[in-house]
Amino acid sequence: MNATAIFRVENLRKSFGPNRVLDGVSIDLQPGTVTVLMGANGAGKSTLVKTVCGVYQPDSGSLTLDGAPFAPASTAEAIRAGVVTVHQNINDGVIADLDVATNLMLDRLTGWGKPVLFNPFRIRREAREVADKMGLTVDLRAEVADLPLADRQMVAIARAMAHKPKVLILDEPTSSLSSAEAERLFDLVERLKAGGVAILYISHRMSDIRRLADRIVSLRDGRIVGTFDGPVLDYEGAVNAMLGEIISHDRIEVRDGGDIVFSARNLTLKAGRKPFSFDLKDGEIVAITGLVGVGKTDLAETLFGARRVVSGDMTLSGRPYRPRSAADAIATGVFLVAKDRSASSIVPDFNIYENISLPFLKNLSLVGVSARSRERERARAQIDALGIVCRTERDEMFTLSGGNQQKVTVARWLAEPARLLILDEPFQGVDIAARRDIARKLRASADGRATLVFLTELDEAFEIADRILVMSEHTLCGEHINRNLDMERLLAEISGQTMTVN
């Protein structure tokens, strides 16, 4: 392939148990180039990064750095060889309670043969050199904990650059930065690029990608499914490749829905973003799709009262709807199956029936005294309806598989009639059989409420939704009926093409 490649990944394979995460990945990185790696959740991006930087050992395949074989046994070894990674979680890259200077020099303080005594003056002097070279303007005496996220990210990168790397891997570096903060990061990346560093940049954000990419590589199911090069990059093609060929699925019978249950007018999720409006009808299932970080969860939490509306109006069943808390939303019949069930839904100390009755204990108790027999009855009905695989309704949650745990969290909110049921990434970490069960149950029970599902994976949206709305940059930018879809337009909207035209 390219003869000037400084870093070459060839045919990398890595499995965890029966789960093959990397299935023969090959990438070349050239000096002075930003290669963007795109991939949906679970495509294998993190595993690839961790294998390349020495956290995991590959099952097979080879890495070549500067023409020589490269097989780091640890991150420290990778760093010494010149392959430096800045991980997604900013706080993994810095020590919050130490000052900036010490953070920059951290790697000089550990290891055998380093001086035992700590000379703060020398540390600061050397840190100053590193900072100047990187154009880092933060106060070196400031504690990292007091810095905004962007500055912490800069410190983490500057610390990485103190090793004079040949290859720099940035794993979703802008995921927690504002656009102004991100701009500073881009300047830095461009300076490094001009200095001849080969950069592998992992991101979902189309704005980042458009700003920085020289090449785009799409990863899907552990394989490279597309490399996009040349003077004009095919962003749409890259997104398409990353999301995969749209597999044919059980066609659903698309319904138009009845009366309008919920409507939002001129809603703004984030200051300065374009306001948007939408309606949800009785009996229909609407999917909102879009890349990670475009504001889907923000919208879900706003509708559920867990987040303040920046501006705009909402109406539910014709009446103004302005929930101040989750309890408010639940009382008016708006339920949320939250994203990330282990963090937001499951009470680990509770068994199945206790988890199912959690939000509606009030309805299940008599003057405050809980009626366990009624709770168990309700749980048994839900176990049958959703096909939850368990011995009894008293089983502990951790004995269930991921798909069955998810069924329990969905059952929790299906047990009472809703006006608006919101599900945020309900199929995350759920096997295909459980996903079909949940989708079928949602469609079968859809009458009498509006249902809104937030999904990143398009396949899932096609499988469940009557209507698909597209979200990008914290606003809605497209609407499709799930019937003879205009795929090209849909993908263009997801990748934000239409936004730049406007």
Partner 1 sequence: MNTDATNTAQSAPKATKTAKAGSSTPTRDFAIRYGFLLLVFAIVVYFSIMADGFASPQSAVFILQSVSITGILALGVTATLVAGGFDLSIGSVATTAMMASSYVMVVMNGDALSATLVCLAIGILIGLINGFLIVYMRVPDLLATLGMMFLLLGLQRIPTEGRSIATGMTLPDGSVASGTFSPSFLALGRYRFDFVIPNLVPASVVVLVVLAIVIWFFLEYTRFGRMMYAVGSNERAASLAGAPVKGYKILAYVISAIFASIGGILLAARLGRGDIASGNNLLLDAVAAALTGFAVLGAAKPNAFGTAIGALFVGILLQGLTMMNAPYYTQDFVKGVVLVFALVFTFALSGRNRR
What does the binding site for partner 1 look like in residue numbers (CB under 8 A)? 41-42, 304, 306, 325-327, 329-331, 336, 338, 341-350, 354, 358-359, 361-362, 364-365, 368-370, 391, 394-399, 401-402, 405, 412, 428-429
The residue among 378, 389, 464, 369 whose CA lies nearest residue 426 is 464
Q: How far is the CB of 243 from partner 1 (least distance, A)?
A: 17
Q: How far is the CB of 444 from partner 1 (least distance, A)?
A: 24
Cβ pair 462, 482 in contact under 8 A = yes
Q: With respect to partner 1, which residue has the nearer C-beta, 143 or 396?
A: 396
Max CA separation in the chain (angstroms): 77
CB atoms within 10 A of CB 372: 14
Residues 299 and 338 sit within 8 Å (Cβ to Cβ)? no
Nearest to 126 by CA among 145, 98, 146, 103: 103
Q: Which residues pair with 65 in a beta bridge?
A: 7, 68
| Shortest Cβ 95–partner 1 spacing (Å) | 19
Q: Sign of torsion, CA 132 157 474 226?
A: positive
Which of residues 109 and 361 has its CB atom nearest to partner 1 in the complex?
361
Residue 226 near residue 241, CB atoms below 8 Å: yes
Q: Say how many CA atoms lie within 13 Å of 347 toward its Cβ.
A: 12
CB of 341 to partner 1, least distance (A): 8
Q: Whose Cβ is closer to partner 1: residue 145's or residue 347's?
A: 347
Give the nearer residue to partner 1 in terms of CB position, either 170 or 352: 352
Amino acid, single-letter form, for residue 461: A
CB of 72 to partner 1, least distance (A): 25
Quick one: how far is CA 369 from the chain centroid?
A: 41
Q: Rg of the chain over CA atoms, in angstroms? A: 25
Q: How far is the CB of 33 from partner 1 (least distance, A)?
A: 31
- Which amino acid, residue 391? R
In whole angstroms, the minimum distance from the beta carbon of 443 to partner 1 comes to 24
Smallest separation (angstroms) from partner 1 to the CB of 42: 5
- Which secondary-structure segment (H or E) carries 226? strand 223-228
What's the length of the chain? 502
Q: How far is CA 289 from CA 26, 231, 283, 441, 483, in A?
A: 30, 30, 19, 21, 16
Q: What does the alpha-carbon distance between residue 482 and residue 253 come to, in Å, rounded to a whole number?
A: 9
Given the complex with partner 1, which of 222 and 257 has the nearer CB atom?
A: 222
Q: Which is nearer to partner 1, 313 or 328 (CB)?
A: 328
Nearer to partner 1, 20 or 211 (CB): 20
Helix (H) and strand (E) counts in the chain: 20, 22
Q: For partner 1, which is the closer residue by CB, 192 or 397? A: 397
Min dist CB 455 to partner 1, Å, is: 15
